[in-house]
Amino acid sequence: MTKYDNIVPTIENEEIERVDSYKYLGKTVNMEDNTKEEILLRIKAGWSCFGRYKYILCDKTIPIALRSRMFQSVCAAHYHL
């Protein structure tokens, strides 16, 4: 319990809903500064992206340098949201 738990935030006399976490600029923000949820979302996004491009990334007929660049440009970007 913090000293701010009893304060009700308002704007122009309208109460603002109090939430445990929210999305801001694509990142999950929470009051406990717990990054576990954000890390799990990034991992999930990375695997989802890999799944979409798996047929290219695992194709041994495509040079490894090209597959590596493809991974860095489309999949690794999801880990650094």
61 assigned to some structural domain: yes
2 assigned to some structural domain: no
If one counts the domains in the chain, the total is 1
41 assigned to some structural domain: yes
23: nearest Cα among 3, 46, 45: 45
- pTM of whole model > 0.75? no
46 assigned to some structural domain: yes
Instruction: Say what the pLDDT of residue 74 is.
Output: 83
5 assigned to some structural domain: no
67: nearest Cα among 54, 78, 79: 54
16 assigned to some structural domain: yes
- Residues 6 or more apart from 59 whose CB is under 8 A from it? 67
| CB-based contact 41:31 (threshold 8 Å) | no
CB atoms within 10 A of CB 75: 20
Give the pLDDT confidence of 36-76 residue by residue, as tens digits: 877 888 888 888 888 999 999 999 999 999 999 988 888 77
Give me the domain span that covers residue 29.
Answer: 10-79
58 assigned to some structural domain: yes
18 assigned to some structural domain: yes
